[in-house]
A = this chain, B = another copy of it.
Amino acid sequence: MGKRPTLMDVAEAAGVSRALVSIVMRDAPGASEATRLKVQQAAKELGYRPDSRARLLRSSRTRLLGVSFSTSHPFHAEIVDAAYAGATLRGYDIALSAVANGRPESRAVESLLDLGCEALIVISPALGEDELAGYAARLPVVSLLRDDVGESLDSVSSDDDAGIRIALEYLTSLGHQRIAHVDGGDAVSSPQRREAFRAEMAGRGLESRVIPGGATEEDGLRAGRELLDDLPTAVVAFNDRCALGIWESFRAAGLRVPEDVSVLGYDDSQFARLSYVQLSSVSQDAPLLARAAVDRAIDRLEGSTPPAHLVRTPHLVIRNTTGPAPK
């Protein structure tokens, strides 16, 4: 297990100075084509890789974006995926830190800070507004999927009001009047969507019915059973997983979806897209949100724009679980 080669080793092998090797490795101007080749050759032979710790330490810019995500939320993985793409496109790199069992968000964020990230993207932060502001005083922080984070942070989120509105426009246009909402319990965007549902229903002169739910299939299942007593013609779920639970409870009761009752999800997650599921859903478009968050972080870093709260409008993806209201 030999030591890894350093700039110095390459310099000696190529018969030039350290600085010149550095110049070549960074593709910086100041080296002739001939020496460039010679150095690159030597570097390749030694299997040299620049030590990012040393590199990051010296250069004031690290070009590192920190992303904290949760292992228990598959949706986050889609975002991480898109964030990588967006960052490399703009010449930045991404450092990942997970919120896991026994590893609180604060720990995840701090480890990113120690790594020397220049900006932070926190997905669905559960931290308090004060703590977030504390971090935001030191570097640009973008909250993804949550917007009530105070004025010192950026946020990129999806317009829940619009999402619910679109959903209800669609359902009422299909003739639905008795529409229920299964909420997300104590999940992050739950209150927002619940209130949007109430307001929107009221605006249409319809009676709103809200059942306590949650973010998982289990929660949906429970809520769905509760709905059976007095079946609505359509249900708007807090998210897709919840919708699947609701659907399952209907199925178990011998009801057909969408003939007897329509079920609409939220998130347009991979679950919704499965060929045998084909759940109609309100799409937040994770990749788009991720790109927006990355761009926001970099813009804050490079320009001196003030924090902004970006809101994207979701759109409807109609599949097989919604249809005309039963007569």
Cβ of A61 under 8 Å from chain B: no
| Bitwise interface map of A from 183 to 209 toward B, beta carbon under 8 Å scored 1, else 0 | 000000000000000000000000000
State how many angstroms separate the Cβ of A217 from the closest Cβ of chain B. 5
- The answer on a CB contact under 8 Å between A221 and B57 is no
- The answer on a CB contact under 8 Å between B49 and A57 is no
Complex CA–CA separation, A277 to B51 (angstroms): 48
Cβ of A41 under 8 Å from chain B: no
- Give A227-261 interface residues, CB cut-off 8 Å to B: 245, 248-249, 252
**Of the residues B4, B96, B101, B218, contact of A98 by C-beta under 8 Å:** B96
**Of the residues B72, B88, B97, contact of A81 by C-beta under 8 Å:** B72
Cβ of A106 under 8 Å from chain B: no
Residues from chain B with a CB closer than 8 A to the CB of A248 are 276
Complex CA–CA separation, A201 to B199 (angstroms): 61
Which 4 interchain pairs have the tightest Cβ spacing? Answer: A52-B114, A96-B96, A81-B100, A71-B77
Cβ of A210 under 8 Å from chain B: no
State how many angstroms separate the Cβ of A313 from the closest Cβ of chain B. 24
Cβ of A30 under 8 Å from chain B: no
- The answer on a CB contact under 8 Å between A77 and B80 is no
Complex CA–CA separation, A74 to B71 (angstroms): 8
- The answer on a CB contact under 8 Å between A53 and B138 is no
Residue of B nearest to A111 (CB): B93
Residue of B nearest to A64 (CB): B53
Cβ of A32 under 8 Å from chain B: no
- Give A75-122 interface residues, CB cut-off 8 Å to B: 77-78, 80-82, 84-85, 88, 93, 96-98, 100-103, 110-111, 113-116
